[in-house]
Amino acid sequence: MGHDKRTVLIGNGQGFWGDSSRGPVQLARGGGVDYITMDFLAEVTMSIMQKMRARNPDAGYATDFVTQLERILPECVDRGIKIVANAGGVNPAACAAAVNAVVDKLGLKVTIATVSGDDVLSKLPDLIAAGHPLENLETGEPIAGHLDRVQSANIYLGAFPIAEALGRGADVVITGRVTDPSLVLAPLIHEFGWAADDYDRLAAGTVAGHILECGTQSTGGNYDQWRDVEDLAGIGYPIVEVEESGTFVVTKKEGTGGLVDVGTVTAQLLYELGEPTRYLTPDVVADFTSIQLSEVGPNRVRVAGVVGAAPTDSYKVSISTQDGWKTTAQLTVGGPDAAEKALLTADILFARIAEDGVTFSEEDRRVEVIGTNVLYDGMLGDAPAFQPSEVVLRVSVRSEDKSAVNRFGAELASLLTSGPPGLTGFAGGRPRASEIIGFWPALIDKTQAQGAVSVNEVKA
C-alpha cells in the first residue's frame, strides 16, 4: 500500500492483556482491514513483565501475542494485513524472537520490526545525576529517595518510530511502551505521509486510536445502554476507515454483534479522559471538544473536525514501585441477619490476630459487605435499608510487613467453626500476601530518550 490509497482500514483486536483471542481472529478472517493493532499494556502490566524478565532474560513480553499470531499470520500474509502491537512489554527483542520461531514453524516470509528505547530503568541514576528529578506528578516528590523500590520505568513513546518501522518494510511491528493511540496513528502517518507538524490530522489519528484502544468498548461493550446492544456474545471488534484528510468512520465487520452509534463512540471518547481540550500525547495535543460525530449508516459513525496543536517538550514516564504487601479474604454469609453477622465476623478476625500483636490501622484495612450497596457507599443518600439473606464479606489489608499480611490470611479458615453460623465459600484456600505495585507518573525532557527501530527479515 502506498500514499495514494484513499482510505486505510485499521481494526483493533486487543484492548488489554487478557482480552479475548476472538478479536485478532475475527479481524483477520476474510480480510477487510489493512492493519490489525493489538494493545496489551497498562501501568501495572509493565511491572509484572519486569519481574518476569528478572527471573528469565527471555521473558517480559505478552506471551498471548505469540499464540495469537500463530493463528492469524497465514491469512494476514495472504491478504497483506500488517500487525502493530505493543506486546513487547519490557523485552521487545525476546518477543520478536518468539514470533520468529512461529514464522519459521509456519514457513512464512515475514519482516518483523521492534521499537525500543522506552525502558529507562537502568538509566534512572544517571538521569537523576544529570538534573532530571522525575518528580511525582501528583505529589511533587523527586524519585531519588525511592530508587530502591522502583521496579520498572518506561517512557511513553509516540507514533513516528512505529511509522519508521512500517516504512522500512515491516509486516509485524512489536513495541514496548508507547501511547495506546500511537498504534493506530502510526499506520496513518506511514500511509498518508502526514508530517510532524500536521497537527489537525495527527490529532484526528490520535482520536481514532483512542476510540479503538479498548477494543469492544466502542462497539457496545461496557455500555450503559446495554439493552440496545444485540448479540453481545458475538460482539464485533472496532474498525476505523480513515481518509487522508483525517476524517474517519468507526464501524465493525458485518455479521458481528454489538453496536456502533454516537452513544457507544462517545462513551469510549470519554474513557480515561482528563482535560478535554488538551489530550496530551508525544506527537500532538488533541482537542476533544472539536470532535464532530454523525451516524452515516447502520453501525457507522463519522468523526470529523478534529483540531490539534503542537505537543509538549516532555515525555510521560510511567514508573512502578514496590509499595508493600496486601491480601483479600472473602467469605459468603447466609441466613437471617447476614449483613450483621458479616460485620461481626470481620471484628472477630481482627481481634484474634491482635492477640499475636498483628494490627492494621483504619487506613490499612477495608471491610466490605457486598450486597449492601458498598459499590455506592455514601452516594445513595437516604436510600431505604434492606436486609439481604446472603452477602459476601470481603476484608482487605495492606502492610509493609509481609508476615503480618500472611498472619491475617491464616486466621480466615478458623471462622468457619468458631464464628457466627452461615459462613461458607472458603474454596480458594488461604489468602496470601501479594506485592502492592505503586504508580509513579513523571515527566522527562524529550532530549533524554528516543525510539530505536530494528528490522529483521525472516525467510522461510
User: What single-letter amino acid sits at 99?
Assistant: V
pLDDT digits (tens, 9 = 90+) for 85-105: 999 999 999 999 999 999 999
Whether pLDDT at 366 is above 90: yes
Q: What is the pLDDT of residue 234?
A: 97
Query: The pTM is what?
Result: 0.92
Of 65, 120, 121, residue with least CA distance to 94: 65
Lowest mean pLDDT among 176-190, 214-228, 444-458: 444-458
Q: Over the stretch 234-281, which tens digit does the pLDDT of each residue have?
A: 999 999 999 999 999 999 999 999 999 999 999 999 999 999 999 999
Q: For 290, left (φ over 0), alpha (ψ -120 to 50), or beta?
A: alpha
> Predicted confidence band at 456 (pLDDT cuts at 50, 70, 90)?
confident
Burial class (CB in 10 A: 0-12, 13-18, 19+), 177: buried
Interhelix angle for 182-192 vs 160-167, to 10°?
Answer: 50
Each domain of the chain, given as residue ranges in start order, spans 7-118+156-312, 323-436
Question: What pLDDT shows up at residue 42?
Answer: 83
Q: Is the pLDDT of residue 112 over 90?
A: yes
Is the pLDDT at 404 greater than 80? The verdict is yes
Q: What is the DSSP secondary structure assignment for residue 83, as one 8-state letter?
A: E
Average confidence score pLDDT of the chain? 94
pLDDT bracket for residue 4 (50, 70, 90): very low
Question: Residue 111: is its pLDDT beyond 90?
Answer: yes
For 48-65, what is each residue's pLDDT tens digit?
898 898 899 999 999 999
Alpha-carbon span 327 to 306, nearest angstrom: 45
**Which CATH architecture describes the domain 323-436?**
2-Layer Sandwich (3.30)
Q: Are 168 and 139 in contact (CB under 8 A)?
A: no
Beta bridge partners of 154: 119, 318
Sequence-distant (≥ 6) Cβ neighbours of residue 338 within 8 angstroms: 371, 387, 388, 389, 390, 391, 422
Is residue 202 over pLDDT 50?
yes
End-to-end CA distance of the chain: 23
Q: Is the pLDDT of residue 384 over 70?
A: no
Cα 183 to chain center, whole Å?
A: 13
| Helices and strands, counts by H and E, the chain | 12, 19
Strand ranges (DSSP E) for 237-313? 238-243, 248-252, 279-280, 285-287, 292-297, 300-304, 307-309
